[in-house]
Structure 1
Amino acid sequence: MTPPLAVDIDGTLTRQDKSIDPRVFDVLRAWADEAPVIIATGKAFPYPVGLCEFLGIPLRAIAENGGVVYVEEAGEVVYNGDPDAAWAVAEAFEQEGYDLGWGPADMVNRWRETEVAVSLDRPGDRLRELAAREGQEVVDTGYAYHVKSPSVNKGTGLVSAADGLGLDPEEFVAVGDSENDAEVFTVAGESFAVANADEHARAAADHVLDASFADGFLAVAESFGIATQ
């Protein structure tokens, strides 16, 4: 029987150039025909919702590292975390002469509701010091520094999403590549880190795959009987 799936986007459904590998589209649709699929990402809420819409699968999303959770069966958007504290960190960072690194339009944070993302070329150590003062933490996803509540992560998001589906999180298979996937790996029943995963994800995963990026995800799909050709 095909298990429910919680899957990351960046580094997991993508190619090395950060674009989504089109081979995953029909595979995700086929998986969703068999069992619930939840898109679990550090990106802002519109991204996983948009991906579900364009795939034509039910809207089930964990966004902003667990800060926003939605499953359409429950009919309620759940917000977690402390956005005011996260933005206080960003303001203190900017007062020291740094910017967030995304330019004046800041398309990375424009729709973000529960955390703040900062470019990896900004000083992470200083950002962590300022975050600690506000009771926040900084998670390096390999794509950005995320300033967020330490009580919120993809694992707590999966617990909330599974509850909305009437499922136990241990029924889920999780696939990811980054530090922010480690928490969901500890909650899901079985977890897979793609070969390009960082040390945190690799240490937390039940399985570390030989294949990288979307090739790794496709290997997991094949192992559960989902056709990838």
Structure 2
Amino acid sequence: MPVSGRPAGEVTGLCRYLPGVTRGLAENGLLEVIPDRAPRWLGRPTDKPRLRQVGERLNAEHDARLRLTGDDFCRLGDIAYERDGRDEPELVRLRDLAAEMGVHLVWSNVHVHLAESVPDKGAAVLQMAAELGLDPRAIVTIGDAPNDAGLFVGGRFGATVGTADIAGQCSTCPRPCIHHPGPRGRRLRRDGRGRPRGRGRRGVRAPTREKSPVRETRRWLRRSQAFAARSTERGSAATIRGDLAAFVLCRGA
């Protein structure tokens, strides 16, 4: 299920055309979208004109130079601006200024968002899980930027995975997140004794463990990386969009 900072209109398109995807969360968890249904607010509807006024004040009074995204026309709940290469110190400065005006500012790798409350994709996923009768421990969340901080909160889900981009940005996340660097130079698939899975010392095949969301996610990531590498070698235009990298995998969904 995609959990995106993109507008409701764009996430609706993802849900319609991605195989096996029937619903999604848009605008950093503000809205649930299901094809052929009106988007549903998961929280209190926001006052977009007020958010727009804050953006205009930041431009006029603090030389923020914020530029509205081209998809603003299909956004229902938040205001988004192009990041335009801004570094973290500048984004933190703008976040503090927005907070003085009573608005929360958060960013992804491509956009800067203004919202009336702290964006929390994780809370939106938990709400959806409760409504669908899904165990949060069977959910794996994946994200790549500070606007995904709600997906990284410890104890919420069975496992959480961050791309390499997030490792150096945890200190700027609006909510506390966990950071455990992954293993380097080692096989990811091991049995309980630390030996590579396969045949043991006496030629006896190690018992196969029950599938877990973490191992399934690792396998999916390896296959995705291999696909991207093959596509590049063939000169294909296929890429993995970093700004759409936040989503959840759920066993039994």
Aligned equivalents of 2:147 and 2:161: distance in 1? 14
- SS in structure 1 of the partner of residue 2 of structure 2: strand
Q: Which residue of 2 aligns with 1:54?
A: 17
Q: Which consecutive unaligned segments of at least 5 residues does structure 1 have?
A: 1-37, 212-218
TM-score scaled to structure 2, two decimals? 0.58
1:101 and 2:67 are equivalent in the alignment: yes
Kindly tell me: are residues 46 and 53 of structure 1, through their superposed partners in 2, closer, same or farther at Cα, counting changes over 3 Å? Answer: same
1:88 and 2:57 are equivalent in the alignment: no
Amino acid paired to 1:174 = T
Equivalent pair of 2:42/2:124 in contact (CA under 8 Å): no
Aligned equivalents of 1:40 and 1:209: distance in 2? 26
Tell me how many residue pairs correspond in the alignment.
181
Kindly tell me: are residues 66 and 208 of structure 1, through their superposed partners in 2, closer, same or farther at Cα, counting changes over 3 Å? Answer: farther
C-alpha deviations, 1:105-164, integer Å up to 9, x for none?
A: x41322112111122246535532442134221112121211113343111211222123
Residue 191 (structure 1) shift? 0.5
1:143 counterpart (90, 96, 110): 110
TM-score scaled to structure 1, two decimals? 0.63
Higher radius of gyration, 1 or 2: 2
Provide the aligned C-alpha RMSD in A. 3.5
2:129 counterpart (149, 162, 172): 162
Equivalent pair of 1:195/1:208 in contact (CA under 8 Å): no
Q: Which residue of 1 aligns with 2:217?
A: 221
C-alpha deviations, 1:23-71, integer Å up to 9, x for none?
A: xxxxxxxxxxxxxxx1011111122221121113343211111121235
Aligned equivalents of 1:161 and 1:65: distance in 2? 14
Aligned equivalents of 1:168 and 1:58: distance in 2? 19
1:171 counterpart (138, 143, 164): 138
2:4 counterpart (17, 41, 46): 41
Kindly tell me: are residues 131 and 160 of structure 1, through their superposed partners in 2, closer, same or farther at Cα, counting changes over 3 Å? Answer: same
Q: Which residue of 2 aligns with 1:193?
A: 162
Aligned equivalents of 2:138 and 2:181: distance in 1? 16
Amino acid paired to 2:3 = A
Determine which structure has greater relative contact order: mean sequence separation of CA pairs < 8 Å that are 6+ residues apart, divided by chain length.
Answer: 1
Structure with the bigger percentage of strand: 1
